[in-house]
Amino acid sequence: MTNQSMIDKLIEMRLTTMVEAFRNQLNDSKMCDVPFEDRFGMMVDIEFCSRKNNRLKRLIRNAELDQPEAHVCDIDYTSGRKLNRSLIQRLATCEYIAEHRNLFITGATGSGKTYLACAFGMEACKQYYNTKYVRLSDLLIDLEMSRSDGNYKKVMANYANPVLLIIDEWLLLKPTESEQKDIFELLHRRRKKSSTVFCSQYQNDGWYDQLGGGASPLADAILDRIVHDAYKINIESIDPTKDLSMREVYGLDKSLSE
């Protein structure tokens, strides 16, 4: 088999990075003294690493994180917020995902909820977990529009299937009865199969009222599917008189650069 024939077959098998590594070896005279097993191992390692990197890039792109630049190592612990560093470091291992446990991140506007959630989302991608970020309002609009398009099951699956789903602006507005049914269906499908991060301005003891309280037959059913064994991070200010928006700390407020 000629070198070109071998290259053509590798390309047909979509081993393009290995092809490039093989060509580099052919052009490097020093490689003539390297044993075949070592040269072959080098090419396999290069192809393997390339595929892993490409997979990670796809996961990050498909996650559609609101703040893809967020990283756990960049979390600011000196800005006057109460943050449990040991809990955050534990959650960064993604152990909660393997356990199918949920995470509640609550705090006032500008407290850094979204950044923290996206940082956890990035760690999930690094461990090759299928991840998805969405604002609750956008999720509900997608499901409502899918009814008229006849794609409800498909759209519901897009949100039910990810191993980690990050729902931002959770219960910022009180959902309608129809929206509550969609929320219930989604969380029921994800229960004990995956993990969900809920970012909300309301602490979880206020979610019952946001869901309609006793007037809603689904309020208890929805909360029953997410509150048990959930980790909780409530971001509070140590000194409220010196509040500083985390959008400013992380340079996320575009108006600050204008």
Q: Which residue has the higher pLDDT, 3 or 140?
A: 140
pLDDT of residue 6: 79
pLDDT of residue 73: 95
Sequence letter at residue 66: D
Contact 86, 179 (CB under 8 A): no
pLDDT of residue 233: 96
pLDDT of residue 113: 95
Kind plus residue range of the DSSP H or E element containing 89: helix 85-91
Tokens for 44, please give them. Answer: 């396999």
How do strand 103-107 and strand 195-200 relate by DSSP bridges? parallel
Confidence of residue 3 (pLDDT cuts 50, 70, 90): confident
How far is residue 155's CA from residue 142's CA, in Å, rounded to a whole number? Answer: 7
Chain centroid to CA 132: 5
pLDDT of residue 241: 55
Place of tokens 């600011």: 76
Tokens for 164, please give them. Answer: 């980690």
Contact 149, 80 (CB under 8 A): no
Quick one: what percent of the chain has pLDDT higher than 90? Answer: 67
Tell me the per-residue pLDDT of 213-255, one tens digit each, with 9 for 90 and over: 999 999 999 999 999 989 999 998 876 655 555 555 555 554 4
Q: Kindly report the length of the chain.
A: 258
CA distances from 48 to 22, 36, 124, 133 (A): 14, 18, 20, 28
Question: Which of 115, 116, 112 is CA-nearest to residue 80?
Answer: 112
pLDDT of residue 252: 52
Q: Enumerate the domain spans of the chain.
A: 3-61, 64-240
The CATH class that applies to domain 64-240 reads alpha beta
Count Cα neighbours of 154 within 13 Å in the Cβ-side half-sphere: 7
Confidence of residue 2 (pLDDT cuts 50, 70, 90): confident
Contact 80, 110 (CB under 8 A): no
pLDDT of residue 245: 52
Question: Which of 138, 159, 116, 142 is CA-nearest to residue 250?
Answer: 116
Kindly report the pTM of this predicted structure. Answer: 0.84
Tell me the per-residue pLDDT of 102-143, one tens digit each, with 9 for 90 and over: 999 999 988 999 999 999 999 999 999 999 999 999 999 999
pLDDT of residue 251: 54
CA distances from 139 to 115, 191, 209 (A): 19, 18, 21
How far is residue 46's CA from residue 39's CA, in Å, rounded to a whole number? Answer: 11
Question: Which of 242, 170, 178, 161 is CA-nearest to residue 203?
Answer: 170
pLDDT at residue 93 above 70? Answer: yes
